[in-house]
Chain A
Amino acid sequence: MDNEGFYGDHYNGVSSDDELVDISDVSVDFSEDVPPLDFSAGRCKVEWVQSGSPKLMDLLDENVPGIGTYEDFNTIDWVREKSKDRDRHREITNKSKQSTLALLLRVTDAFSGWLLMLLIGLMSGALAGGIDIAAHWMTDLKDGVCLNGFWFNHEHCCWTSNETTFQERDKCPQWRSWAELMFGVNEGASAYVVNYLMYVCWALFFAFLAVSLVRAFAPYACGSGIPEIKTILSGFIIRGYLGKWTLIIKTITLVLAVSSGLSLGKEGPLVHVACCCANILCHFFTKYSRNEAKRREVLSAASAVGVSVAFGAPIGGVLFSLEEVSYYFPLKTLWRSFFAALVAAFTLRSINPFGNSRLVLFYVEFHTPWHLLELLPFILLGIFGGLWGAFFIRANIAWCRKRKTTRLGHYPVLEVLVVTLATALLAFPNEYTRMSSSELISELFNDCGLMDSSKLCEYTGKSGKVLGNVTAVNGSNGLGDRPAGSGLYTAVWQLVLALLFKMFITVVTFGMKVPSGLFIPSMAVGAIAGRLLGVAMEQLAISHHDWPVFRGWCSPGADCITPGLYAMVGAAACLGGVTRMTVSLVVIMFELTGGLEYIVPLMAAAMTSKWVADALGREGIYEAHIRLNGYPFLEPKEEFHHKTLAVDVMRPQRSDPPLSVLRESGMTVEDVERLISDTTYSGFPVVITQESQRLVGFVLRKDLVISLENAQRYQNGVVSVSAVLFTECDPDSSPNAPPAVKLHSILDLSPFTVTVHTPMETVVDIFRKLGLRQCLVRQNGRLLGIITKKDILKHMAQMANRDPDSILFN
């Protein structure tokens, strides 16, 4: 027998991998290792099972609870979960031929997915409607109270009143501001001071309540939620992140956070809320509650529902889920997500939170045409969006890192209070920051028509006096020449201040320990910038009619530039720059506005913004937060283009101790327990013998621990010297030896392997496409090492010159 062993001293001279095992010129005789696959003779009759491979599900949850589940902060095994589901489906189909009840069960099983989607849509739509109503009321609570019924906000308080005038749409005697209520005065400096004080006090109260509730009941409810949901959908487990307490607290504190005037939005947290609903409803269906892979399909659909109720954009929601959030998105999920998103949008509409069957506050309906030359300012807006996106991501990540590492992070409640104080103090004086971000966006998107009386629409007529917005003398729609009036000038510089304020305060606000989203703040920044540019272009066109660019298209007396459109394009550009969304952004924007005419400007701005932002920084905000927190997320969009091989990444490396393996037979319980306690690996390969290193399979640490404990508790006569067997059939054993522990059922007989020369590009591709956690490395048929997902992430970090120790989780 020429078994010189692996780590022997047969080197091949000066080859480059001469420290590795090279057995190319060693002739090894396998004759004593393994019995030949002889069906008739031999010690162990291999019974060739007719029905093919044994059912995974049968073996795994025979009678031992805990096998097949995962620890917290671990990654699931996609392959195992998918084959479990296929086996279950096959079993139900086979049994359905036996009786009508079983047939009914099969039909119910097929139908259960759709029922679940329906329920998710209903629940999320209802919750979103409640959140909207409550948020509107509480935002207005900072300003005053309705005497008709305290539950009405300002707009609804004055709904039935006849006192509203054209100039002041919201004036009515039933609505009392705090100054009026407490001191009876409505005008003057004292009223202003009292209102200011009450505004700040309410804002602080709401913020304090929000952060205390988060801290006391559900610490997982803070932040946006989308980076963590992305990681969960890629296979990570965070227990409690999608639980019922997180749902309750996130719903309640989202309303409080939005109402306190902080510069944050509801969209990201609504995605989290929808996923929590989905997770909770999954518990009622065994098909989804027991299978982690199926559950993630449902969670993909739920994230589509979240965006759908936030924007009233079902198609945009599905595309958002496909593009930004989901890791695997099979076609079946596409149809079901769309169904769920539609149900949710319909539920929200029937609850009717805005009183006019609109889904979103800033649904605009103008259809004025745009000119090709306007693409230039739109591209300019795209560049602005890209620049702002890159700036925001860098600044926010730097601030969050400071929060993570320095003493700033030890005072979360104080931090929230200080930021709220700063926001409230600076926001009250400027009317454009005093109103909520959604109202601001709505006003900016709105093009000035006859019916509008906001300051932004104060143009002067030819005669120079401030006219309001219409002159019947000037033509059918009466708008004509619109040089700016004094109101417009005031509005412009107020908007400039608002822009600067919002740009900087959002950096500090996103990521605090209250639920915070960033779609609305980004859109607000972009809308302000866009509107300013639109107004500038408009005034340019009016004062320089005779320039060749304007001559053909902007004839005097006709309005040719719609600043509202510029605001919309600016909003899309900034949002795209921050999140790097492409298709979903355009679809959401045109579902918001209801007009297909503006697809080209939106696309131009979105593309420019993405290119500029990508040139300055590779990642969007969510990927940047994933990397900041060190989640084990293998980015599906990133390309791996280095020329390393599997052998460079695998463990053990040259200086490490050899691979810890289990033997198929010949180990005792004591040996196995010692191996488990000496190492912290999450799984062990099983080989035939230590010398041959021929692979049998792979076994997970958790399954091993649970099975051994189970065997020691329930099986008679198992002691430390009992043999542990991974073989299928029993070898001959002496009659008075203690009974063996048979662990064949927890062994994965088909682990994935690559060879040492497989390029890492292929390995990374395999990991991504199959969702593997680990992969074994062989050379010339013998087991050499193992590559885990964490090793790959560390390797990618090293290649990109980042700190490989920032990958925190397993």
Chain B
Amino acid sequence: MHEYPGVMSSSFPKILRTLVLVLMFLVVIEVISHARADKSFEDVRCKCICPPYRNISGHIYNKNVSQKDCNCLHVVEPMPVPGHDVEAYCLLCECKYEERSSNTIKVTIIIYLSVVGALLLYMLFLLLVDPLIRKHDPYTMPLQNEEDSEDLRPHVDGAQGRGNTVLERVEGAQQRWKKQVQEQRKTVFDRHKLLS
């Protein structure tokens, strides 16, 4: 990312950018709420826990009812005690209305696994495939620069020339990023200057 913003230009692009950002977030929130709005049948339940009573062991009852019907009389079926004892039994039971969103869980886990998979593949690529490709490239900057130069200037890419095609810019960005990571790795792992 280019570090120096330069002269403060006109403010129009800034207002526009902020507005676009707000709109983007509103859209995202809409999408999320729509995704959660269509709750599937099984994402709602009323759970009643009834402790042991006399010689009846404890039991848990689940039923898919609405919130106003979430009480002992609607959920506990079949009732294990005879009619006159129902009230005493139901006083002991504790009923709770619970809902969850299985879609959110599914989407989150799948997104997470795909990100981990992508990072893993990229790491393997950088470790194995990239050095083989780079060996043929004469413009490679010596990344294995083990000299302990503390003030490694970040503007060393003058020799590369500034290619204007997208690929070359991506290449340049990737090289810069790799150098940054290498510097960070040296600081944290090798010299133990930070974060020990």
A167 to B52, CA, bound (A): 10
Give residues 120-166 of A contacting B (CB, 8 Å). Answer: 122, 129-130, 133-134, 137, 149, 151-152, 156, 159-162, 164-166
B6 located at the interface, meaning its Cβ lies under 8 Å from any Cβ of chain A in the complex: yes
Say yes or no: A228 contacts B21, CB within 8 Å: no
A242 — which chain B residues lie within 8 A by C-beta?
none
A66 located at the interface, meaning its Cβ lies under 8 Å from any Cβ of chain B in the complex: yes
Query: With contacts A215-B185, A409-B192 known, is A352 near B21, CB below 8 A?
Result: no
Say yes or no: B120 contacts A220, CB within 8 Å: no
User: Please, which residue of chain B has its CB at the minimum distance from the CB of A286?
Assistant: B14
A159 to B46, CA, bound (A): 11
Give residues 63-121 of A contacting B (CB, 8 Å). Answer: 63, 65-66, 69, 101, 104-105, 108, 112, 115, 119
Say yes or no: B196 contacts A404, CB within 8 Å: yes
Query: With contacts A167-B58, A213-B123, A628-B196 known, is A134 near B108, CB below 8 A?
Result: yes
A119 — which chain B residues lie within 8 A by C-beta?
21, 25
Interface string of B96-112 (1 = CB under 8 A from A): 10111110111011111
A468 located at the interface, meaning its Cβ lies under 8 Å from any Cβ of chain B in the complex: yes
Give residues 637-672 of A contacting B (CB, 8 Å). Answer: none
Say yes or no: B15 contacts A216, CB within 8 Å: no
A340 located at the interface, meaning its Cβ lies under 8 Å from any Cβ of chain B in the complex: no
Interface string of B40-75 (1 = CB under 8 A from A): 001001000111111001111010000000000000
A731 located at the interface, meaning its Cβ lies under 8 Å from any Cβ of chain B in the complex: no
B134 located at the interface, meaning its Cβ lies under 8 Å from any Cβ of chain A in the complex: no
A615 located at the interface, meaning its Cβ lies under 8 Å from any Cβ of chain B in the complex: no
Query: With contacts A160-B42, A228-B195 known, is A219 near B181, CB below 8 A?
Result: yes
Say yes or no: B7 contacts A252, CB within 8 Å: no
A151 to B181, CA, bound (A): 33
Q: Size band of the B side of the interface?
A: 35 or more
**Of B54, B62, B110, B115, which one neighbours A162 at CB under 8 angstroms?**
B62
A245 — which chain B residues lie within 8 A by C-beta?
177, 181
Give residues 44-63 of A contacting B (CB, 8 Å). Answer: 61, 63
A404 to B191, CA, bound (A): 8
Interface string of A494-525 (1 = CB under 8 A from B): 00000000000000000101000000000000
Say yes or no: A252 contacts B127, CB within 8 Å: no
- Smallest Cβ distance from B13 to chain A, in angstroms? 10
User: Please, which residue of chain A has its CB at the minimum distance from the CB of B7?
Assistant: A63
A134 — which chain B residues lie within 8 A by C-beta?
108-109, 112
Say yes or no: A166 contacts B58, CB within 8 Å: yes
Report the number of A-B residue pairs with Cβ-Cβ less than 8 Å.
Answer: 173
**Of B18, B108, B193, which one neighbours A115 at CB under 8 angstroms?**
B18
Interface string of B5-20 (1 = CB under 8 A from A): 1111001001101100
A351 to B119, CA, bound (A): 25
A245 to B52, CA, bound (A): 54
A563 — which chain B residues lie within 8 A by C-beta?
none
Give residues 170-193 of B contacting A (CB, 8 Å). Answer: 177, 180-181, 184-185, 187-189, 192-193
B126 located at the interface, meaning its Cβ lies under 8 Å from any Cβ of chain A in the complex: yes
A213 to B96, CA, bound (A): 42
Interface string of B77-121 (1 = CB under 8 A from A): 000000000000000101010111110111011111001100110
B4 located at the interface, meaning its Cβ lies under 8 Å from any Cβ of chain A in the complex: yes
A593 located at the interface, meaning its Cβ lies under 8 Å from any Cβ of chain B in the complex: no
The 10 closest A-B pairs by CB, nearest first: A166-B58, A65-B4, A355-B100, A151-B109, A219-B188, A404-B196, A450-B51, A219-B184, A404-B192, A134-B112
> What are 14 inter-chain pairs, A to B, with CB distance below 8 A?
A65-B4, A101-B11, A134-B108, A137-B109, A161-B62, A166-B59, A213-B120, A222-B195, A248-B119, A286-B8, A352-B101, A356-B100, A511-B196, A629-B194
